[in-house]
Structure 1
Amino acid sequence: MKDVIEADNKRRWSVGELARATGLTVRTLHHYDQIGLLTPHERTASGHRRYTEHDLRRLYRIRALSALGLSLDEIASVLADQDDELTALHALLTAQLHGLTAQATRINELRTRIDGLLQRITARQMPNPDQFMSTLELITVYETYFTQEQRDQLAQRRTALGPEAIEAAKHEWAALVEELLPHVAANTPTDNPQVADLIARYQALGARFHPPAEQGEQTAAAARQMWQDNSTELAARLPWPPDRIIALVEYVNRAHQP
């Protein structure tokens, strides 16, 4: 079995490919290399890093251990003590599965509690402080869609924009939604010049809230995943029928499909 694990199918990944696939930044992967946590097994003739299957498995273990709350120094120590990779991966995946099961339970509980808050407010009854506090504690589950680094980047971007620009963007976005919804209902072709212009403005507006370049691509991808997993709940918070907003997002996304 050890021979199977050590077999190499010659697949190689550049640092950029690995960054895009994992949601890490190139800078983070360079840092892992510098501290000896993840050193690529190969380099090209020009000195560019090339990661192997072994490196990919090690990175998986690093990310999983980090998600379990270990520091980089602790992760390095754990990996140094693990000789049997199959056994180590089995234990790690088991711990991850338990964590995801617990996370799913917390999300379901959060949905139940928010629904309870909404029902009380709909009945014109103010929820008590304990209800708000317990809900606040559970809201942190949604932080799983963005790494701490990405949350910091998004916060910095909001600070850079300032409250007035953010408020103006909200009004601009609402106006764009109102203009797009009739086209969604009529299924106007997305290459229609008027629709194409509206969609371009819609997407440019969203891009303002993301950091530039590669970091922005990663936070935008995380936001799309969050919407995909929670579209019904998120759409219900907006001042339009949820099904219409969900259809609008699908319409906008369809405009960029080949």
Structure 2
Amino acid sequence: MTVRALYHYDEIGLLSASERTPAGHRRYTEHDLRRLYRVRALRALGLSLEEIAGVLDGAADDPGSMRDLLTAQLRRLDEHAELIGVLRQRIRGLLRQTGDSSGPDPDRLMTTLELMSVFETYFTAEQRERLAERRDALGGEGLEAAKREWTGLVEEGLRLMETGVPADDERARDLVRRWDALAGGFHPDGPEGERTRAAARRMWRDNSAEIGRSLPWPAERMAGLVAYLDQARESG
């Protein structure tokens, strides 16, 4: 302990020396020392000084209050651990993108970070976890295969749209069936999957320009393709 920390504890009433020397120096008794040990032990659990004061000034004799306090602290630590896990995944992803000299430039990295922020806005933590589980289940090779298939679907859809094939044409409806089947592999089954699909559509609708900047096709063409697919989907 530093002298400065002890003075601070004294100022806020958390720990005061019970005695003074004739010269006016603080003298900590055995009782004071036991209280200091308790302060240090509770501080190691991450409790605030205000919470520690409450514990030492009465709550320590109330098991229920102490249990509630520790439960709340555990919940905060769980939330913090979840946040750390998200940040670890994010940084690993960025490091993979910058693993060699052909990695994206700083502008591309900042765009990736912006999209991550958008993603977290539209999906709950639980939904993000379910989506991550689906990606993990596909594995590296599965993800690459899905990416290649999706690229082919985009190119096919752009050709249909830009050559004037009507959205209710069987070719467009077949394309949208394959598109939705591919996307379904990334979403949970059942009602939860419907919710994540709806969130993904809202995310695209509200941020199509930003998301489009990260794709190899112009944002206007992609926006047109999504509208075209929606029309094909509605046509049955």
- How high is the TM-score relative to the length of structure 1? 0.46
Aligned partners of 1:165, 1:142: CA distance in 2, in Å? 22
Determine whether 1:143 maps to 2:120. Answer: yes
Gaps of 5+ in 2: 1-70, 73-103
Q: 1:139 to 1:183 in 2, by over 3 A?
A: closer
What's the offset of the Cα at 1:127?
4.5
Give 1:197 shift: 1.3
Q: Distance in 2 between matches of 1:162 and 1:234?
A: 24
The yes-or-no answer on 1:157 pairing with 2:109 is no
Deviation at 1:140? 3.4
The 5 A counterparts of 1:239-258 are 239-257=216-234
Tell me the distance in 1 between the aligned counterparts of 2:122 and 2:191: 17
Equivalence for 2:182: 205
Q: Which residue identity is paired with 1:224?
A: R
Number of the residue aligned with 1:187: 164
Q: What is the percentage of aligned positions where both structures have the same residue?
A: 50
Separation in structure 1 between the aligned mates of residue 166 and residue 115 of structure 2, nearest angstrom? 42
CA distance in 1, matches of 2:157, 2:196: 25
Q: Which residue of 1 aligns with 2:145?
A: 168
Tell me, yes or no, if the aligned pair for 2:115 and 2:211 is still in contact at 8 Å. Answer: no
The higher radius of gyration belongs to 2
Q: Residue 137 and residue 195 in structure 1: after superposition, are their counterparts in 2 closer, same or farther (change >3 A)?
A: closer
Between the aligned partners of 1:192 and 1:251, the Cα distance in structure 2 is: 11
| Counterpart Cα distance in 1 of 2:117 and 2:234 | 33
The letter for the 1-side match of 2:210 is: E
Q: Deviation at 1:142?
A: 3.7
Residue 226 of structure 1 corresponds to 203
Match of 2:191 in 1: 214
* Pairwise CA RMSD: 2.8
Partners of 2:141 and 2:129 in 1: how far apart?
A: 20
- Letter paired with 2:166: P
Would you say how many aligned residue pairs link Structure 1 and Structure 2?
132
Look up the SS of the partner of 1:162 in the other structure. helix
Change (3 A) 1:217 1:127: closer
Per the normalisation by structure 2, the TM-score is 0.50
1:149-198: CA deviations, max 9, x gaps? 10010011111111111110000010111111121113312232222211
Shift in alpha-carbon separation, 1:242–1:215, aligned structure 2, 3 A: same
Q: Equivalences for 1:32-181 in 2 at 5 Å?
A: 127=106, 136=113, 139-140=116-117, 142-181=119-158
* Distance change in 2, residues 1:185/1:141 (3 Å): closer
Q: Which string of whole-angstrom CA distances, capped at 9 and with x for unpartnered residues, describes residues 101-135 of structure 1?
A: xxxxxxxxxxxxxxxxxxxxxxxx9649xxx79x9
In 1, Cα distance between equivalents of 2:163 and 2:204 = 24
Q: d(CA) in 2 for partners of 1:204 and 1:138?
A: 24
Following superposition, the deviation at residue 203 of structure 1 comes to 1.3
Report the Cα distance in structure 1 between the residues aligned to 2:210 and 2:233, rounded to whole angstroms.
25
Cα distance between partner residues in 2 of 1:136 and 1:252: 28
Higher relative contact order (CA 8 A, sep 6+): 2
Query: Which of the numbers 235, 242, 249 marks the counterpart of 2:212?
Result: 235
Residue 202 of structure 1, CA deviation: 1.1
Aligned AA (2:145):
A
